[in-house]
Amino acid sequence: MRTVRNIAIIMLLALIVAVAPGGGNAARALAAAMTIVFMVLIAFAAWQLFRQYRFNYIGLDERRRAIFLTALGAIALMIAGADELTDTGGGLVVWLAVLGASIWVVVTTFLETQSRY
């Protein structure tokens, strides 16, 4: 019975968004707000990780640090351009390749710094 009630509430809210004037705009604004909150939480988590592992980062040589920061920048660009890049098949392949290679660089750099200490 509780599940039916929850589904009814969701359907009622969806009906309000669909029928109310400007409901589509309100739904887009809510989705944008949720995206912003999600990105802020990701940035906060990244800041906490940096604070926790800053000595490992400082201990990297200049070449490895440049590669690491380039990989982080590529991840940020892939997130920002996801809508445009994933529209076509070739763009999706490039997006997955760059994202996968960047994540691989970040993980291997992290694992190398962990093995030193």
Count of CB atoms situated within 10 Å of the CB of 27:
14
Predicted pLDDT of residue 68: 93
Q: What pLDDT does residue 94 have?
A: 93
Q: Which pLDDT score, from 0 to 100, does residue 116 have?
A: 62
List all residues 6 or more positions away from 110 whose beta carbon is below 8 Å from its beta carbon.
Answer: 53, 56
For residue range 14-33, list pLDDT tens digits in order: 887 777 776 677 778 878 88
Predicted local distance difference test score (pLDDT) of residue 23 = 66
pLDDT tens by residue, 31-51: 888 889 998 999 999 999 899
Distance CA 66, CA 60 (A): 9
